[in-house]
Chains A and B, each alone.
Chain A
Amino acid sequence: MSGVLLQAKGVSKDFGGLRAVRDLNFEIQRGEIFSIIGPNGSGKTTTFNLVTGFLPVTGGEISFKEDRITGLKPFQICRKGIARTFQLTTLFERNTVLENLVIGQRATRESSILSCILGSPGARQKEKEALGKAHELAEFIGLSRQKMIPPGALPQGAQKQLSIGLALASAPELLLLDEPVGGVNMEEIGALIDLITRIRKSGTTICLIEHKMSVVMNISDRVMVLSYGEKIAEGSPAEVSQNEKVIKSYLGERYAASRRQS
């Protein structure tokens, strides 16, 4: 199934006098891997926060499956089918890996407190199912042997895998990954890329922010480049990497000029 999954129209965000995102327009197609790149401070994470409702937009409109989502709270946006990870890996530290994967599920937010206190058969059944699903998820993200330990005891790469698993637990249609391979070693990067491609294969659309160009250029279908809160380029990885403006913003005016001459 193809078509537009998420659409941003004229989105901007001011922090006091600072315009962090300026008149941003973009679309994410169903089933693709869409990457957002750009120098530090170019508004990538701010864009994520605007899409997921963690920050209110100053102007513009974002719609998901043709439904307006601007103005909704983060938990409401998640319920519509958009999940995210955070740049600084955040997990429920005082719970085990498996419990993290249970908390993320729809059943957790829908269970009634009263039926849980009374221990109704329906509540028990739901709990069993959620636990079963968590085991499957642990398998899928490659942490089936670490299910019972707290996330703090996992290496950095595995924590990233778990944070993706936690977001996946809510069964999203669109998954936003904020620097999924940031700060992990080469070996761990391999496992994460493998995970991301498997998620896409299972039918989930992915939008990611990443600094490692080798990763972005290899796995993305389309790339959007931001600089000072504005879109300066968009297209296939090959197109974007040849774009004059992109080279300038990443490598500076002089490099771009020398490249023109040669």
Chain B
Amino acid sequence: MGKKFYYLLLILFLIAAPLVVTGQYPQHIMVMCGIWVIASLALNLILGYTGQLNLAHGTFFGIGAYATALLVQKLGFSFWLALPLGCAITAFMGFLTGLPTLRTKGHYFPITTMCLGIAIYYVIARWDDFTGGARGLFGLPRPDPIPLPFGGSISFETTLACYYLVLFFVFLTYGAISRLVKSLAGRRLVAVRGNEDLAQSVGINTMQSKILSFTISTFFAGLAGGLFSAYMGTLMAEQAHYLLSFEMLIYVMIGGIGTMAGPVIGGVFLPILGEILQPLAGFRLILFGLLLILIIQFLPFGIVGGLRMARMRRAQKRGAS
């Protein structure tokens, strides 16, 4: 009961937050945090729960962004049709990529996915006719207004409206992934992370489990990308840059790998920290590096893992006294 109460409080806080934080710039940061949270939750499914380090996650974010934007701009699709289609295209690309790459073991999966990420980045950056090349895409419209049954409509011209739009998809992504990993089907993924041979020995088709996890993960990466493109209104090849994968990796690692709250904490606080440290320019990367080393050394399961350890120790102390 206690836990449900805190969840409810958190949801109410997130809904009420922009009423307190009214500035254009802080609200923009909040929208961006929501988008990073979706992307990090997705990465955590394949990385944290299935144990496969995908270094092309940022690329799938970019594919989702470009797919959605191109569907709107070149084919004149409504955003509400382009977004699910963009997710589906990204997931299909993920599925195709997964078929050969997920067969590899050990370090080869991160290496192959990273190479793929670099290759796709250059395709996007050079294919002038299709993706706009290095110049990128401009003038992407915001999502079409949703008409309300009793007249009027919800428009997404303001940052505030976009915040609620992204927040809705954060809840959706969180709900879907947390339900999945706690369910029987999700235990297949966790079994693959634990020990592939053992998983096979109890009848789990490990290859199929990995591909499913990867496809779902890339689907939500595409969702984050699609939302990003419509919110920003412009897309540049940088949004599919392979270094983006490492940024998301850091969010997940520092927040807490293999936990539901981890990517949320990482995806909210690290971008905010980045903005606060903006005056330091390049030096903030040094700070991030230091932070990452400290976390890996002392909190291998991130902030959430650290909190859990502290709680267990407290419980043990109480039990002992």
Which A residues have a C-beta under 8 Å from some C-beta of B?
Answer: 52, 54, 73-75, 78-79, 83-84, 86, 90-95, 99, 102-104, 106-109, 111-113, 116-117, 119, 123, 126-127, 130, 166-167, 169-170
Residues of B within 8 A of A108 (CB): 184-185, 187-188, 191, 202, 204
Contact A95 B202 (CB under 8 A): no
Contact A166 B185 (CB under 8 A): no
Cα(A169)–Cα(B203), bound, Å: 10
- Of residues 193 through 214 on chain B, the ones whose CB sits less than 8 Å from some CB of chain A are 193-195, 197-206, 212
Would you list 17 pairs from A and B whose C-beta atoms are within 8 A, ordered by A residue? A54-B201, A74-B201, A75-B205, A83-B202, A86-B197, A91-B198, A92-B190, A92-B191, A95-B190, A107-B184, A109-B204, A113-B185, A113-B212, A116-B179, A117-B180, A127-B184, A166-B198
Contact B185 A102 (CB under 8 A): no
Contact of B179 among A90, A91, A119 (CB under 8 A): A119
Residues of B within 8 A of A119 (CB): 179, 183
Contact A78 B200 (CB under 8 A): yes
Residues of B within 8 A of A92 (CB): 190-191, 194-195, 198
Q: What's the nearest-Cβ distance from chain B to residue A173, in Å? A: 13
Contact of A103 among B191, B197, B206, B258 (CB under 8 A): B191
User: Is the C-beta of B176 less than 8 angstroms from some C-beta in chain A?
Assistant: yes
Residues of B within 8 A of A83 (CB): 201-202
Residues of B within 8 A of A109 (CB): 188, 202-205
Which B residues have a C-beta under 8 Å from some C-beta of A?
Answer: 176, 179-180, 183-188, 190-191, 193-195, 197-206, 212, 216, 258
Residues of A within 8 A of B206 (CB): 75
Contact A103 B187 (CB under 8 A): yes
Contact of A111 among B185, B200, B201 (CB under 8 A): B185
Q: What's the nearest-Cβ distance from chain A to residue B94, in Å? A: 14
Contact A75 B204 (CB under 8 A): yes
Residues of A within 8 A of B199 (CB): 75, 103
Q: What's the nearest-Cβ distance from chain A to residue B299, in Å? A: 16
Contact A95 B194 (CB under 8 A): yes
Residues of A within 8 A of B176 (CB): 117
Cα(A64)–Cα(B176), bound, Å: 40
Cα(A255)–Cα(B214), bound, Å: 60
Cα(A166)–Cα(B203), bound, Å: 11
Given A74-B201, A75-B205, A93-B194, 19 extra CB contacts under 8 A: A73-B200, A75-B200, A78-B201, A79-B203, A90-B195, A94-B190, A94-B194, A95-B190, A95-B194, A103-B202, A108-B188, A116-B180, A116-B184, A117-B183, A119-B183, A126-B184, A127-B184, A166-B198, A170-B203
Interface centre among A83, A84, A116 (most CB of B within 10 A): A116
